[in-house]
Amino acid sequence: MNHLNLHQRLLHSKAAYTTRHINLSEAAGLITTAEPRPGDLVLAEVRKIGHHKALELRDGRRSSLFIGDEIVVAYGHRYAPDQFEAEIRNDLDPCDLVAAGGIASNVLSRSVKTGIATRIAPIGLLANRHGQVINVADVALPPINAAKTARVYAVIGSSMNAGKTTTAVSLIRGFIAAGYRVGSVKVTGTGAGGDMWRMMDAGARPALDFTSVGMVSTYKVERNQLLRAFSTLTSHAMNSDIDILIIEVADGIYQQETGLLLQSHEFRNLVDGVFYAARDAVGAKAGVDWLIQQQLRVIALSGVVTMAPLAIQEATEAVGLMVLSPDQLMDPAILEDLTSSQFALAASL
């Protein structure tokens, strides 16, 4: 296939969120025999519609998928207890679309609540004019060291879908209402824009995630790479003249990469306090105890647990911290009270 034909083909394809930082006009050819690596861009054809019936495009719009569609996605691993566990194989055989944001991989297991994955057939890896496979890491933000110039609050949860993003978005709105300039960073997870778009909609500037540092997923990344990504993202946010930085950490505290990050000196030294999202009192108690062991200050609880008055009562009695609904987190007076006086209401270390 010559460059002109590939260019036209890409114009008519559906390019996913994970590819949004790449200039696809630089693609000059397809490679059909290489072993894919995390972050490699691939042109693929949709063969069978399964769980993911739409693809999140580069601008955030969800485009319905049809058999025969050509899509541009990126290879990556996935860890999602509520959906798929997936890993890249060492070939370009048919595989699975394992995330709406555009990740090609091979399903190892899935939740009983999740349907069979949408099936795709790789056509070829995108290559530049030098014959090199194009990877999302090619346009990663450069590492920088920035002084800490903002207060930093992390949103951590007991599990996937515990209410972390809703907590983060509420905090953003609350701090903005209090007159602060707020930025946000999602430091771990799977490449999809839903959480980042919500934080942008709430007013966070900048709103960054790990795809900006060249990763479509943080599952199976090495510790040093994870900490570099954390430093780079938070440093770029600090350079944006903000007063408050909200950090969201994906999945639950027992997920491997989440645990590595939370136990690091780098995380502990940067974060001023934690808002912990849990589903119930048991998850709240176990999580807060674990976070205190890591010498992290837990300021308050939130998340799914706030949906039921009895659940709030149980969590309050079990943990001894305030349990705050999204509306309460958006109240500037409550936030100012919680985050002043050296975290007087935080859990005792």
Note the pLDDT of residue 339: 84
What are 31-65's pLDDT values in tens digits? 999 999 999 999 999 999 999 999 999 999 999 99
What are 260-314's pLDDT values in tens digits? 999 999 999 999 999 999 999 999 999 999 999 999 999 999 999 999 999 999 9
| Largest CA-CA distance found in the chain, in angstroms, rounded | 67
Give the global pTM: 0.94
- In the structure encoding, which two tokens stand for residue 99, read together? 């995330």
Q: Specify whether the CB–CB gap between 107 and 48 falls below 8 A.
A: no
Note the pLDDT of residue 341: 47
Spatial separation of the C-alpha atoms in residues 228 and 215, rounded to whole Å = 12
Contacts of 11 (CB under 8 A, 6+ apart): none
- CB atoms inside a 10 Å sphere around CB 310: 8
Closest CA to 83 of 63, 107, 60: 107
DSSP letter string, 18-39: GGTTS-GGG--EEESSSPP-TT
CA distances from 92 to 30, 35, 40, 97, 317 (A): 12, 7, 12, 13, 54
Spatial separation of the C-alpha atoms in residues 91 and 24, rounded to whole Å = 23
Kindly provide the residue ranges of all beta strands, DSSP E only, lying in the chain, ordered along the sequence: 14-15, 29-31, 41-48, 54-56, 62-64, 70-75, 78-79, 84-87, 95-99, 103-110, 118-127, 151-157, 182-186, 207-209, 244-252, 273-277, 298-302
Q: What angle do CA 338, 344, 349 make, to 5 degrees?
A: 115
Domain extents for the chain? 6-128, 151-343
**151-343: CATH class:** alpha beta
